[in-house]
Amino acid sequence: LRRPRDLTLYDTPMGYVIKMLVSVFAPRDFALTAPVCEHIDDHGVLGRELSMDIAHGLVGKTAIHPDQISVIEEALKVSPGEHSDALRILNSTQAVFKSQGAMCEPATHRRWAQGILGRGQVYGLTTGQNPEGIRLIPVSKQH
């Protein structure tokens, strides 16, 4: 199955397959990585696909060309808002709370929060302002 050049995998029948795989394996804590994007010169399609990969909870993405690496690594960085929410979820004693206009429920969002902090450790944080006005810088990789 080869996709049209302007579509992500999620815009094709493979999108359904990915959804089914995630729905079966994610609840069992089995991590899935995202499929490759064979259109190496179209970073727009790659970027849209990465957004969907992340939304589906997929971890990582295989680059098939060196030009894709920086796009993938940048997309997998964690925003300051996500990082802040993840910390609050993991450290909250409240059953439910509001953060940045969204409901946070530690009991059901714990796995997401742990994943966000893990991604932040590997890929770092995007630079920018978090809601409290604190400037965050990327997490350094330790070897």
Model confidence pLDDT, tens digit, residues 2-38: 889 999 999 999 999 999 999 999 999 999 999 999 9
Report, as an integer, the average pLDDT of 88-108: 95
Model confidence pLDDT, tens digit, residues 36-67: 999 999 999 999 999 999 999 999 999 999 99
Residue boundaries of the structural domains of the chain: 9-75, 80-136
pTM for this one? 0.83
Nearest in space to 52 (alpha carbons), one of 70, 75, 24: 75
CA distance 108 to 121: 22
Angle, vertex CA 3, rays to CA 18 and CA 21, nearest 5: 10
State residue 2's pLDDT score.
84
